[in-house]
Copies of this chain bind each other. A is one copy, B any other.
Amino acid sequence: MAKVNLGSGIVNFPMPVAVIGSTVAGKANFMTAAWVSMVSYSPAKLAVTLGNHHHTNKGIKENETFSVCFPSTEHMKIVDLAGLVSGEKVDKSTYFTVFYGQSDTAPLIEEFSLSVECKLDKIVESGKNEIFIGDIVGIHADEKVIVNGKIDLDQLNPLLLGQMTTEYRSLGNKIGQAWKIGRE
C-alpha cells in the first residue's frame, strides 16, 4: 500500500471528549477538552492538556483541583458550546448543574453520568500547552451506568472527537475481549 507522509501536526485519532471543571475567582467554570489520558496506574492519575492561555488554567493553579467530566452523546451541543466560548468573557457556571465531592473547587456535573474529581499533582510545560496531572480522588457515576461495579460503556454512551476532521462520534460496538483474544 502506498504511504504518504503528512509531516507534523495533530494526529486524527479518536479522542475522548471531556468537560474540565474548575473554580476561577470563586465561580465554577467549564471548558471542553479532548487531550485526556490516564498517566498513572497506582496511585491513579489522569492528565489533561490545555492551551496555556485558558481561563481554566488560572483556576486549577489557584485551587489545585479540577474535574474531568465525561458527557454522553445527548450533551453534544452544550459541550461544543463550552469549547467555543471563553470563561473570561462568558459566565459558564450555569451551563450545568453542579455538585461537589471532597473539595468545593472541583465542580462535578450532575447531568453527566461520569465525573472524575482530581487533586493537582503537577503541571508539565509542553510547548504552548500545559499538562495538568491530577490524582484521582473520586469517580462519581450514575447508578444506571454501573454494571458489576464498573462503568458500562453502552450505558455511558460517551462522546468522541475527530479533531482534524472536526467531527463528533459515538462509540461503536464491542468487537472483542482485551487481554484475551490475542491468545486465540
**Residues of A near any B CB (own CB < 8 A):** 1-16, 18, 35-47, 49, 51, 68, 70, 73, 76-84, 99, 101, 110, 113-114, 116, 121, 124, 126-129, 131, 133, 135-144, 146, 149-153, 156, 158, 160-184
Q: Are the CB atoms of A37 and B37 closer together than 8 Å?
A: yes
* CB-nearest residue of chain B to A172: B170
Q: Are the CB atoms of B127 and A42 closer together than 8 Å?
A: yes
Q: Are the CB atoms of A171 and B168 closer together than 8 Å?
A: no
Selected from B11, B127, B173, the residue in CB contact (under 8 A) with A170 is: B173
Closest CB-CB distance, A178 to chain B, in whole Å?
A: 4
Q: Are the CB atoms of A153 and B143 closer together than 8 Å?
A: no
Q: Which residues of B contact A114 (CB under 8 A)?
A: 11, 13
Q: Are the CB atoms of B167 and A178 closer together than 8 Å?
A: yes
Closest CB-CB distance, A60 to chain B, in whole Å?
A: 16
Closest CB-CB distance, A139 to chain B, in whole Å?
A: 4
Q: Which residues of B contact A164 (CB under 8 A)?
A: 150-151
